[in-house]
């Protein structure tokens, strides 16, 4: 029996018609202006002649003109603030949004102060005669931020561009191509030079990219208008320029091929396809999609429907047939695994709606598109895809009304027949698809409210909805929360993208890479793509780059895709309280956090913490594997920690860690009091309610079992943060748990982490107690020489500190280990010294332990009568105190002594009593030892069958606890006679 130091027991995609291969200006194929034509307010004309008031130019170098004169907008960052306010004209922009938009990650020391300074500078430039503290004419303050007030909705060229684009598309739908061409031309003419020129910051970059796409899409619309007017050469010239500028966009190639074919240049049309194919192969390693492939085949066979008259006839013949409309993205060429998920989604055919949710980057869209392509033949009437932009950089979510307009156009409803009201559009949409076998992919939904108006009324239509949120309000027949890939499928995906030969050459490194990616498909794809495009890299080199946790997110980025950016979109959709909770979870050192610990971390009551945690679960930023227990994906934890470092000061982070360590120390100390009530030392007193209180020993052990994985990381975090006293006390208070459960390696890990803290404090007793704990754990692992070294070092510290009780405890433990080493005489001497010391200081608990241990040693020395006498004394003392676990240990010793004396019957009685006590006390390691003893007693009594049963029970427990005893039991089972 061991003692402690005190002598203790130790872009939008919309419906593109198959028979109208160029897409259709009316469909808006990714163009600017998502709203319906004529809905944007504004003055007549393009507004270019306005000279009174403030006008703003954004579609080139950023300029502001006040009454026709240029305004000096100041330094670049001040221009960036102005640009955000101008793009969001007449809207209040939150200060936090301004900070994110202008600086992104590269925050200045005082970003709020910098915003205030730049706003003041803009006010001086725009309103030089403004009286201090008076309401601004142009730049107005609000409690949460600022707003730029413009005299007219057309006071920015961006607003004029959007209005002209909308009017042009309305003209297309109304059959007025000449007007559409003029309006598109006026809109495109507004661009001059570098868009948002001279403006730094992430907001400006995102808007540049969006405006480049909007400009390209509108130019494609104009080329299509030329094509519809029969001006094939002009259409071909414009389409060729667009295709050369954006070789991966298929629509300009389709326009070029169609224009050339209609102009009688079939060979040139086919040559254009080959150019498109070469560009796609070079840049993507893929062939063009079905839009261009199908168009090429139709050109080869001279399909009459491609000619203007044939196209009209085909359109007339297809009126009212939604099946002539197909717009599904290309299936991923490297789609891997997900067999069970594919089967579940496919099972939704004929049942209505399938909702697929999951964290950013988990492959929701890929799965939905893959299944949609597989189900194409079962949904012959229409197959449509809509990106609702719930989480798209620089894009607001698509309104239900706008999405309905696109869908109605896609199934052939003329623009003039589309109602203005959302509910009327929804009713027409349901009527249009009634009885049809159609498939609709609603991708990237923000919430149920955005999706519900788009649902067909017939279950013959299959709707696949993807979202980062759990759409709990959606009446879905099939709901699927998509998790990360299994290891084998993640490895297969990595090999498919990176190249199977390179991966096969370094399989161990490849496995390490996908594990570093957290098995997240987006991360695996990005890592594989980087490897594919860097022939000098080995898989091991990539593994080593990803091994540095602080830079892992930086490594998982390629061109316009990054894991961090995907996470950021989900994070920014949270409210302020949820953001804070998410960030502080990055401080938590373990993988799974309990509700009470999360509440302590954030300084909240449990009810408030539960509400925030459930919100994070709904947003797929947190998983709840068991009720009240939450897990962050490894990469999300890294992102949360990074955001905490950016947003929260070091004082806030340390305060959160302090609350967490205090919670765990108070709770573990309370649990230890139930497990080892006779211990002398306790942790520092905690405020009332600082930890979880337990009703009994079983409840304490259950909580400790659930939290086991966090103890070592938490002690390490406390030590690194300079919380040395809490670090060593936390390790010390886990003695009873580790001993009861036999978690010897955990015990060693925690004590090794805490020992430097005790040394930094110069606390001899703290060091000695931790050394004793290390000795106990190493003793149980049969590392006897190491245990002896720990005990002797602890004994010296105890004597220096003058702590007699601790000295006695170390002597007890040292004696136990010397006994296991066969050094019986030295062991007896240690135990007798311990007994005398405990009697001198009136330590009855230590005395009882020394007596019990002397009983074992006297038995080893053949002094059986003395062994029985001292053990009976110890048993009486333990029963007096109600110490069932120690009672079980002494009963086990008595059974061994009786067995040695030839009294198998009495040994069996004591052995059964010992097993009962050890099971009742939760002493799993002791349970295995006593079952091993009972088996040997049964064998002595001539009961080999019962012995075999006891050994098998003992082996199950020993293997569960990874005890060295397991090897001994296996040998005994092998030596048991056959049939015994």
Same domain, 181 and 58: yes
Q: Comparing C-alpha atoms, which of 704, 714, 484 is closest to residue 590?
A: 714
Task: Determine, yes or no, domain membership for 712.
Answer: no
Predicted local distance difference test score (pLDDT) of residue 319 = 37
Residues 900, 864: Cα–Cα separation, whole Å:
8
Question: 323 or 29, which is more confident?
Answer: 323
Predicted local distance difference test score (pLDDT) of residue 32 = 30
Q: Comparing C-alpha atoms, which of 814, 809, 880, 792 is closest to residue 847?
A: 809
Residues 592, 599: Cα–Cα separation, whole Å:
14
Instruction: For residue range 761-807, list pLDDT tens digits in order.
Output: 999 999 999 999 999 999 999 999 999 999 999 999 999 999 998 89
Domain count within the chain: 4
pLDDT band at residue 40 under the 50/70/90 scheme:
very low
Q: Is the pLDDT of residue 19 over 50?
A: no
Average pLDDT estimate for 636-645: 92
Task: Determine, yes or no, domain membership for 749.
Answer: no
Average pLDDT estimate for 343-371: 86
Highest mean pLDDT, choosing among 310-324, 457-471, 623-637: 623-637
Q: Comparing C-alpha atoms, which of 778, 771, 780 is closest to residue 809?
A: 771
User: Where are the alpha helices (H) located in 398-506, listed in sequence order?
Assistant: 400-410, 422-433, 448-451, 487-498, 500-505
Predicted local distance difference test score (pLDDT) of residue 325 = 65
Are 84 and 156 contacting, i.e. CB atoms less than 8 angstroms apart? no
Predicted local distance difference test score (pLDDT) of residue 333 = 65
The distance in angstroms from the start CA to the end CA of the chain is 33
Instruction: For residue range 481-490, list pLDDT tens digits in order.
Output: 889 999 999 9
Task: Determine, yes or no, domain membership for 572.
Answer: no
Same domain, 464 and 518: no
Predicted local distance difference test score (pLDDT) of residue 762 = 94
Predicted local distance difference test score (pLDDT) of residue 542 = 93
Q: Which two tokens stand for residue 776?
A: 């106990």
Same domain, 375 and 465: yes
Instruction: For residue range 699-721, list pLDDT tens digits in order.
Output: 999 999 999 999 999 999 999 99
Q: Is the pLDDT of residue 133 over 70?
A: no
Q: Which two tokens stand for residue 572?
A: 């920014």
Instruction: For residue range 495-537, list pLDDT tens digits in order.
Output: 988 888 888 999 999 999 999 999 999 999 999 999 988 889 9
Are 179 and 49 contacting, i.e. CB atoms less than 8 angstroms apart? no
Q: Is the pLDDT of residue 93 over 90?
A: no
Instruction: For residue range 852-865, list pLDDT tens digits in order.
Output: 999 999 998 999 99
Task: Determine, yes or no, domain membership for 979.
Answer: yes
User: Percentage of the chain with pLDDT > 70?
Assistant: 91
Same domain, 384 and 521: no
Same domain, 450 and 492: no
Predicted local distance difference test score (pLDDT) of residue 10 = 37
DSSP state of 485: P
DSSP state of 395: B
Task: Determine, yes or no, domain membership for 670.
Answer: no
Q: How far lies 339's CA from each of 336, 344, 346, in Å?
A: 9, 9, 10
Predicted local distance difference test score (pLDDT) of residue 42 = 33
* Mean pLDDT of the residues in the chain: 84
pLDDT band at residue 22 under the 50/70/90 scheme:
very low
Q: Comparing C-alpha atoms, which of 860, 861, 850, 863 is closest to residue 890?
A: 850
Domain ends where: 434, 463, 481?
481
Q: Which domain holds residue 946?
A: 883-980
Same domain, 471 and 548: no
DSSP secondary structure of 169-210: HHHHHTT-HHHHHHHHHHHHHT--SSTTBT--SHHHHHHHHH
Instruction: For residue range 371-430, list pLDDT tens digits in order.
Output: 888 887 787 778 888 889 888 776 788 899 988 988 888 777 777 778 888 888 888 888
Task: Determine, yes or no, domain membership for 492.
Answer: yes
Same domain, 113 and 160: yes
Task: Determine, yes or no, domain membership for 144.
Answer: yes
Buried b (16+ CB within 10 A) or exposed e, 528-556: bebbeeeeeeebeebbebbeeeeebbebb
Highest mean pLDDT, choosing among 117-126, 344-353, 410-419: 117-126
Same domain, 960 and 978: yes
Average pLDDT estimate for 679-685: 77
Q: Is the pLDDT of residue 612 over 70?
A: yes
Same domain, 519 and 474: no
Q: Is the pLDDT of residue 541 over 80?
A: yes
Rg, the chain, Cα only: 37
pTM of the model: 0.60
Domain ends where: 515, 538, 564?
564
Q: What is the largest CA-CA distance in the chain?
A: 116
Q: Is the pLDDT of residue 16 over 60?
A: no
CB-count burial class (<10 Å; 0-12, 13-18, 19+) for 142: exposed
Predicted local distance difference test score (pLDDT) of residue 545 = 92
Are 926 and 885 contacting, i.e. CB atoms less than 8 angstroms apart? yes
pLDDT band at residue 894 under the 50/70/90 scheme:
very high
Domain ends where: 536, 564, 592?
564
Question: 278 or 12, which is more confident?
Answer: 278
Same domain, 59 and 183: yes
Q: Is the pLDDT of residue 15 over 60?
A: no
Question: 922 or 628, which is more confident?
Answer: 628
Same domain, 428 and 536: no
CB-count burial class (<10 Å; 0-12, 13-18, 19+) for 334: middle
């Amino acid at each position: 029996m061991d003692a402690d130091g005190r002598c203790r027991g130790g872009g939008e995609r919309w419906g593109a018609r198959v028979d109208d291969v160029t897409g259709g200006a009316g469909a808006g194929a990714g163009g600017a202006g998502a709203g319906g034509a004529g809905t944007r307010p504004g003055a007549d004309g393009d507004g270019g002649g306005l000279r009174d008031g403030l006008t703003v130019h954004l579609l080139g170098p950023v300029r502001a003109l006040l009454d026709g004169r240029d305004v000096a907008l100041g330094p670049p960052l001040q221009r960036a603030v102005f640009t955000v306010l101008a793009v969001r004209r007449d809207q209040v922009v939150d200060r936090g949004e301004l900070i994110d938009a202008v600086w992104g990650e590269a925050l200045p020391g005082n970003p709020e102060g910098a915003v205030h300074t730049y706003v003041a500078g803009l006010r001086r430039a725009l309103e030089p005669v403004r009286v201090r503290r008076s309401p601004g004419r142009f730049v107005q303050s609000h409690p949460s931020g600022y707003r730029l007030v413009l005299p007219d909705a057309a006071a920015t060229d961006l607003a004029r561009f959007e209005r002209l684009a909308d009017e042009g598309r309305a003209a297309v739908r109304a059959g007025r191509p000449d007007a559409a061409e003029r309006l598109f031309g006026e809109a495109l003419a507004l661009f001059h030079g570098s868009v948002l020129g001279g403006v730094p910051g992430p907001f400006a970059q995102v808007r540049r990219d969006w405006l480049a796409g909007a400009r390209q899409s509108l130019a494609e619309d104009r080329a299509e208008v030329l094509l519809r007017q029969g001006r094939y050469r002009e259409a071909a010239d414009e389409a060729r320029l667009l295709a050369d500028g954006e070789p991966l966009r298929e629509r300009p190639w389709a326009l070029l091929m169609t224009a050339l074919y209609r102009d009688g240049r079939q060979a040139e049309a086919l040559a254009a396809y080959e150019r498109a194919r070469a560009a796609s192969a070079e840049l993507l390693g893929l062939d063009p999609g079905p839009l261009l492939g199908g168009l090429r085949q139709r050109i080869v066979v001279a399909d009459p429907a491609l000619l203007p008259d044939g196209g009209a006839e085909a359109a007339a013949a297809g009126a009212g047939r939604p099946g002539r409309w197909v717009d599904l993205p290309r299936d991923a060429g490297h789609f891997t695994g997900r067999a069970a998920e594919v089967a579940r989604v496919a099972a939704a055919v004929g049942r209505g709606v399938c909702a697929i949710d999951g964290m950013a980057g988990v492959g929701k869209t890929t799965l939905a598109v893959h299944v949609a392509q597989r189900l194409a033949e079962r949904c012959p009437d229409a197959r449509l895809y809509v990106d609702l932009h719930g989480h798209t950089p620089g894009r607001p979510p698509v309104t239900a009304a706008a999405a309905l307009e696109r869908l109605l156009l896609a199934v052939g409803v003329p623009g003039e027949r589309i109602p203005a009201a959302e509910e009327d559009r929804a009713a027409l949409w349901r009527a249009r698809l009634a009885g049809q076998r159609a498939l609709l992919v609603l991708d990237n939904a923000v919430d149920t409210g955005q999706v519900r108006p788009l649902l067909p009324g017939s279950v013959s239509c299959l709707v696949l909805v993807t979202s980062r949120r759990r759409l709990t309000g959606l009446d879905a027949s099939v709901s699927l929360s998509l998790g990360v890939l299994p290891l084998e499928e993640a490895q297969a995906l990595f090999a498919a993208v990176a190249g199977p030969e390179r991966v096969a050459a370094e399989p161990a490194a490849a496995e390490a890479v996908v594990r570093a990616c957290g098995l997240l498909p987006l991360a695996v794809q990005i890592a594989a793509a980087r490897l594919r495009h860097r022939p000098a890299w080995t898989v091991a080199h990539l593994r080593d780059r990803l091994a540095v946790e602080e830079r892992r997110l930086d490594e998982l980025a390629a061109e316009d895709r990054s894991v961090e950016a995907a996470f950021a979109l989900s994070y920014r959709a949270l409210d302020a309280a949820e953001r804070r909770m998410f960030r502080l979870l990055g401080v938590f050192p373990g993988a799974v956090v309990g509700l009470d610990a999360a509440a302590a971390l954030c300084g909240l009551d449990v009810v408030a913490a539960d509400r925030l945690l459930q919100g994070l679960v709904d947003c797929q930023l947190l998983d709840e594997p068991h009720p009240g227990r939450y897990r962050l994906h490894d990469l999300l934890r890294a992102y949360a920690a990074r955001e905490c470092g950016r947003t929260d000061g070091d004082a806030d982070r340390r305060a959160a860690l302090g609350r967490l360590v205090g919670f765990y120390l108070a709770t573990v100390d309370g649990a230890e009091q139930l497990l080892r009530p006779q211990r002398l030392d306790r942790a520092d007193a905690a405020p009332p309610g600082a930890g979880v209180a337990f009703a009994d020993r079983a409840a304490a052990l259950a909580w400790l079992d659930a939290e086991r994985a966090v103890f070592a990381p938490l002690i390490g975090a406390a030590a690194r943060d300079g919380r040395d006293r809490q670090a060593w006390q936390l390790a010390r208070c886990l003695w009873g748990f580790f001993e009861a459960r036999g978690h010897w390696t955990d015990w060693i890990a925690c004590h090794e982490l805490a020992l430097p803290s005790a040394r930094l404090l110069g606390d001899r007793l703290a060091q000695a107690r931790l050394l004793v704990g290390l000795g106990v754990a190493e003793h149980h692992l049969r590392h006897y020489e190491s245990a002896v070294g720990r005990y002797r070092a602890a004994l010296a510290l105890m004597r220096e500190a003058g702590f007699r009780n601790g000295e006695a405890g170390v002597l007890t433990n040292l004696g136990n280990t010397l006994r296991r080493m066969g050094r019986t005489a030295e062991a007896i001497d240690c135990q007798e010294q311990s007994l005398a010391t405990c009697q001198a200081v009136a330590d009855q608990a230590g005395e009882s332990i020394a007596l019990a241990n002397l009983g074992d040693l006297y038995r080893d020395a053949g002094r059986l009568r003395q062994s029985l006498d001292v053990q009976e004394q110890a048993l009486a003392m333990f029963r007096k105190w109600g110490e069932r676990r120690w009672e079980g240990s002494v009963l086990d010793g008595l059974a061994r002594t009786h067995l040695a004396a030839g009294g198998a019957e009495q040994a069996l009685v004591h052995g059964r009593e010992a097993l009962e006590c050890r099971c009742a006390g939760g002493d799993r390691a002791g349970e295995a030892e006593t079952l091993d003893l009972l088996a040997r007693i049964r064998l002595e009594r001539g009961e080999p069958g019962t012995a075999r049963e006891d050994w098998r029970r003992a082996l199950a427990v020993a293997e569960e606890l990874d005890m060295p005893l397991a090897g001994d039991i296996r040998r005994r089972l092998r030596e048991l006679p056959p049939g015994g």
